[in-house]
Chains A and B, each alone.
Chain A
Amino acid sequence: MRTIVKAVAGALLASTAMVAGASAQTKEVQMLHWWTSGGEAAALNVLKQDLAKEGYGWKDVPVAGGGGDAAMTALKAMVAAGNYPTASQMLGYTVLDYAAAGVMGDLTETAKKEGWDKSVPAPLQKFAVYKGKWVAAPVNVHSVNWLWINKAVMDKIGGTQPKTFDEFIALLDKAKAAGVIPLALGGQNWQEATMFDSIVLSTGGPEFYKKAMNDLDESALKSDTMKKSFDNLAKLKPYVDPNFSGRDWNLATAMVIKGDALVQVMGDWAKGEFVAAKKQPGTDYLCYRFPGTDGSVIYNSDMFGMFNVPADRKAAQVALATATLSKSFQSAFNVVKGSVPARTDVPDTDFDACGKKGIADLKAANEKGTLFGSLAQGYGAPPAVANAYKDVVTKFVHDQIKTSDEAVKQLVAAINDAK
């Protein structure tokens, strides 16, 4: 017993002894994020090195899991405890929630100096600027309305780029006839809903997408066009293999890479898998916009939310924000990550063919006003609504909701309930 007590006391002393000076350093950024492994971490490391050159240290707070869910839980706990990080990776509406709670800092001066107002696309600014104050620095722009196609399979079945939804179905039929799985899909709610974003844009066009998926206009949500979108989703179901349910997105991508499947509908992070497998765009795989969505871009974006830190930590924060939106970092980071820069004036020289197309598309969509937030990825509506939407789509895909009529009814009810 006595030895046990001694052991406890010893262990306690040991753990308290190395505590001194746990308070935040002023020449250091404390950064919460969920880019913890492989390519993602490598991409972020560029930023760490950029800051080191300016003499700022990097205190890493990485919390992976659930596409940022675990990190957001940790962030809530940190804010509740009053320990604000210098910055945190955040998505869309979360930035605005925290800003409304009054815990975000103000970067307007830096933004003015660096000209963010002009270079960052206006739809993104909706999430980075709260009541006229810059509270976040966007890192990248992902877009979700892409098709990823195995070129060898495409050649084998003699397919060409589908321009309309009907052509897409015809292409899938060809693959099916050739004995390949036509559509690689992971049956998890966010993957299904991400695909459905593209289907709605393809079925209803840009204006309808905005009305239904960003403005949540009830007449659009219960319209026949929305019903037709669900019909189109139902049309895709027979082209999916029977084991799709629960599959991770990267396993679905692997099916395309290996040639077991023809095509995957997925955001441009899927490109990272092709790159890791040493595949070349144009020769090994093809990237097309989802049929019928050319000219529009459905985006989501990673942002670094900047917290209201004490004055002595502000300089480090400004350095971080400036480095994040510098052209050199935007290019270096996004080449690795598969996304495109969050400012439209970054040269595309280092990007591959798909990246170049992505940059050009983003610029064009921004100018034409056809750059829309992805509802599935949390850029169309607050999380409560976005998840209610995912619920309905996944229940429709897995036959818990049986008809398109019922799906539209459920969608309207679920979104009204969650608003």
Chain B
Amino acid sequence: MTITTMPTARPEREAGAVSLRGKLQDALPKIVLAPSFAAVLVFVYGFILWTIYLSFTNSKTFPSYVLTDSRAYQRLWTWTFQSDPPSSWYTSITNLGIFGVLYIGVCLALGLLLAILLDQKIRGEGVLRPIYLYPMALSFIVTGVAWKWFLDPGLGLERTLHEWGFTSFHFDWIKNKDRVIYTVVIAGVWQASGFVMAMFLAGLRGIDGEILKAAQIDGATPVATYRRIVIPMLRPIFLSAFIVLAHMAIKSYDLVVALTSGGPGGSAWLPSNFMYEYTFKRNEMAVGSASAVIMLMTITAIIVPYLYSELRETNR
């Protein structure tokens, strides 16, 4: 991180002259930020507290505000270690591990690759860009069906290849309880990688061309320029992309439902499915809330150290 180092942006105030107008000018940035911050405090952190509170009640169909005990957490705790047969919670969290890592990793890699390729003064960029992006635009309740057919051995790819004579081709992951989560990854990457591409492309377009020219004059090869100069400069974009992908991974609900209907024996569940099922379908709101709290704690454990290192880095 040597390239992006820059002086701390802290405009100095003029000494003396502390007029009312000056004070207002000083406070202006905070005034601009305040409404957003206040809204977030109330509608996010306030509601998180509400959720934590509910998780210690015995709320069922409706919220109940009488604190009872931590039975919801005890049940989740038991389910966490129940792997044979796997409890829904066990399936959800192990799936999130597989799905989260693959989905975020592949999307980042593919998005960056596509952005770099598109940034090579490509003819027809205006046609290609929407092609990579369009999966985001379509509602997954319907594209889920298209994917489901395509991956179904009896309807889609496998059948087509068999009709073309490749009878040894076999692809039935969507029907296989141990593989179905990978089909969710495939559809998820298809949907989100285009947007990651757009984020990296914006980042690339924001880089000062002079820096690249200088590198070229110094005789750096294209690969080296990207590896040593461009990609490090995209670091803040990686953070944005990571946050967006992590949030999508955690909230991927309709992806699983539309593509797999939960998978064979519920083997494709993710925690968001669990949360929705227990809160709204099974009328066990306390368990749903407790699972939300556990998810938020897990996210905190992963994100906060990352944020801490990122934010400390940029303000040297």
Interface residues of A, Cβ cutoff 8 Å to B: 65-66, 69, 72-73, 76, 79, 94, 97-98, 101, 187-189, 241-243, 245-246, 248, 382-384, 387, 391, 394-395, 397-401, 406, 410, 417-418
Determine if B265 and A398 form an interchain contact, defined as CB atoms under 8 angstroms apart: yes
**Which of A188, A248, A410, A417 is B262 in contact with, Cβ under 8 Å?**
A188
- Kindly provide the distance from the CB of A287 to the nearest chain B CB, expressed in whole angstroms: 26
**A–B complex contacts, Cβ < 8 Å, 15 sampled:** A72-B281, A76-B61, A94-B61, A189-B265, A243-B154, A245-B264, A246-B175, A246-B260, A246-B264, A248-B261, A394-B266, A398-B264, A400-B85, A400-B177, A417-B75
**Contact of A246 with B263 at beta-carbon distance under 8 Å, contacts A101-B61, A387-B282 already known:** yes
Chain B residue numbers with a CB within 8 Å of A246 are 148, 174-175, 260-261, 263-264
Question: Do residues A245 and B266 form an inter-chain contact, with CB atoms below 8 A?
Answer: no
How distant is A192 from chain B, measured CB to nearest CB, in Å?
A: 9
Find chain B residues with CB under 8 A from A401 CB.
85
Contacts of B174 in A (CB 8 A): 245-246
Contact call B153/A243, Cβ cutoff below 8 A = yes
A79: chain B residues within 8 A (beta carbon):
62
- B48 partner residues in chain A, CB cutoff 8 A: none
Assess whether A101 is in contact with B62, with CB atoms less than 8 Å apart: yes
Residues of A near B148 (CB, < 8 A) are: 246
A189 to B281, CA, bound (A): 14
Which partner residue on chain A sits nearest B285 by CB separation?
A: A76
Say yes or no for B232: interface residue by CB 8 A criterion.
no
Closest to B84 in A: A400
Q: Is B291 an interface residue (CB 8 A)?
A: no
Scoring B residues 43 to 75 as 1 if CB is less than 8 Å from chain A, else 0, what string do you get?
Answer: 000000000000000001110000000000001
Alpha-carbon separation in the docked complex, A42 to B266 (Å): 34
B272 within 8 A of A: no
Interface centre among B141, B260, B264 (most CB of A within 10 A): B264
Chain B contacts for A189, CB-based, 8 A: 262, 265-266
Decide yes or no: A97 and B61 within 8 Å by CB, A395-B266, A410-B85 being known contacts.
yes
Cβ contacts under 8 Å, B260 to chain A: 246
A130 to nearest B CB, angstroms?
A: 14
A398:B262 contact, CB within 8 angstroms: no
How many B residues face the partner with a CB closer than 8 A? 31
Docked Cα-Cα span, A72 to B62, in Å, equals 12
Chain A residues with CB below 8 A from B283, complex form: 97, 382-384
CA distance A242 to B175 in the complex (A): 8
Contact, CB under 8 Å: B175 / A245: yes
Complex Cα distance, B85 from A394, in Å, reads 11
Min C-beta distance of B245 to chain A, whole Å:
26
**In the bound complex, how far is the Cα of B154 from the Cα of A72, in angstroms?**
34
| Chain B 148-173 interface mask (CB, 8 Å, partner A; 1/0) | 10001110000000000000000010
Chain B nearest CB, measured from A417 CB (Å): 7
Specify which of B60, B85, B175, B277 lies most central, judged by the most chain A CB atoms within 10 Å of its CB: B85
Beyond the given A97-B62, A246-B263, could you list 13 further A-B residue pairs with CB under 8 A, ordered by the A residue number? Answer: A65-B141, A72-B280, A97-B283, A188-B261, A242-B153, A243-B172, A248-B261, A384-B284, A398-B267, A399-B177, A400-B85, A400-B86, A400-B265
A76 in contact with B86 (CB, 8 Å): no
* CB closest chain-B residue, reference A77: B280
A82 to chain B, nearest CB (A): 13
A65 — which chain B residues lie within 8 A by C-beta? 141
Q: A189-B262, A243-B152 are in contact. Are A387 and B277 (CB under 8 A)?
A: yes
Q: Within 8 Å CB of A66, what residues of B?
A: 257, 281
> Does B193 make an interface contact (CB < 8 A)?
no
Q: How far is the CA of A154 from the CA of B311 in the complex (A)?
A: 71
The reply on B88 being an interface residue by CB < 8 A is yes
A400 touches B267 (CB 8 A): yes
Please determine whether B266 and A384 come into contact, CB atoms closer than 8 angstroms. Answer: no
Nearest CB of chain A from residue B270's CB, rounded to whole Å? 16
Chain A residues lying within 8 Å of B61, measured Cβ to Cβ, are 76, 94, 97-98, 101
CB distance from B50 to the nearest CB of A (A): 12
Mark out the residues of chain B between 282 and 315 whose CB falls within 8 Å of any chain A CB in the assembled complex: 282-284
The interface centre, meaning the residue of A79, A242, A383 with most chain B CB atoms within 10 A of its CB, is A383
> Closest Cβ of chain B: how far from A37's Cβ, in Å?
13
- A69, B281: Cβ atoms under 8 Å? yes
A101 nearest in chain B by CB position: B62
Question: Residues of A contacting B172 with CB < 8 Å?
Answer: 242-243
Instruction: Give the residue name and chain of the B residue nearest to A407 (CB).
Output: B85
Is B88 within 8 A of A391, CB to CB?
Answer: yes
CA distance A399 to B86 in the complex (A): 11
Cβ contact within 8 Å between B280 and A76: yes
Closest residue on chain A to residue B78 by CB atoms: A417
In the complex, how many angstroms separate the beta carbon of A387 from the nearest chain B beta carbon?
5
> Which of A73, A101, A242 touches B280 (beta carbons < 8 Å)?
A73
- How long is the Cα–Cα vector from A268 to B85 in the complex, in angstroms? 33
Residue of B nearest to A103 (CB): B62
Say whether A387 contacts B175, CB under 8 Å: no
Closest 7 CB pairs of A and B: A398-B265, A398-B264, A97-B61, A245-B264, A243-B154, A400-B85, A245-B175
